[in-house]
Amino acid sequence: MADSILIIHCAEGAKKALARMSEEGHKLPPQFKTFELPCTGSVNEVLLMENLQNGSAGVVVLGCQKENCKHMDGNLRAERKVARVKKLLSEAGVEGKFVEMIFTAPDEGKRLHNTLLEFSQAAEAKGKRK
């Protein structure tokens, strides 16, 4: 089975988008795992790095749309932490791992499904090249 991809999502807009995706019949491949936080603002570098180190090919942080975070700016804080981890991975020369931030609205089930599939396909291609 392909390496797992962890989706860390908030309990607001992102959770609703994932539910919408499922209601619309868009299924994710089994390598996707999910982990819910009240808000993506509580994502930290340790959570991201340790998940990657413990076997995840990638971590996707899924937050509310910009300017629509229920907790004001939690999604923007998450975006900065994701950027910091991306920079660290790149500077350390880590290959075959990724971390991404996605902003989504509750009614974007199909778009979200397509985006997540692109991540899994990219991760799979990287895995094959390793």
Partner 1 sequence: MIVAEQKPIQEILAMLPEHKKVLVVGCDTCVTVCLAGGEKEVKVMTAALRMAPKPLAEVTGISIERQCDGEFITEISEQAAQCDIILSMACGVGVQMMSDFFPEKPVLPALNTLFMGSNEGAGYWLERCLGCGDCVLDLTAGICPRTRCSKGLMNGPCGGSENGKCEVDPENLDCAWNLIYQRLKSLNRLDSLMAIQPPQDWSKSHDGGPRRLIREDVKL
Q: List contacts with partner 1 (CB under 8 A).
A: 44-46, 49-50, 52-53, 88-89, 91-95, 97
Shortest spacing between CB 47 and partner 1, in angstroms:
10
The token pair at 85 is: 């981890």
Shortest spacing between CB 53 and partner 1, in angstroms:
4
Q: Considering beta carbons, is residue 53 or 114 the nearer one to partner 1?
A: 53
Contact 79, 25 (CB under 8 A): no
Shortest spacing between CB 36 and partner 1, in angstroms:
22
Q: Considering beta carbons, is residue 18 or 48 the nearer one to partner 1?
A: 48
Closest CA to 17 of 130, 100, 125, 115: 115
Contact 47, 84 (CB under 8 A): no
Shortest spacing between CB 8 and partner 1, in angstroms:
16
CA distance 63 to 88: 22
Q: Considering beta carbons, is residue 28 or 69 the nearer one to partner 1?
A: 69
Q: Considering beta carbons, is residue 88 or 122 the nearer one to partner 1?
A: 88
Q: Which residues pair with 36 in a beta bridge?
A: 9
CA distance 24 to 99: 26
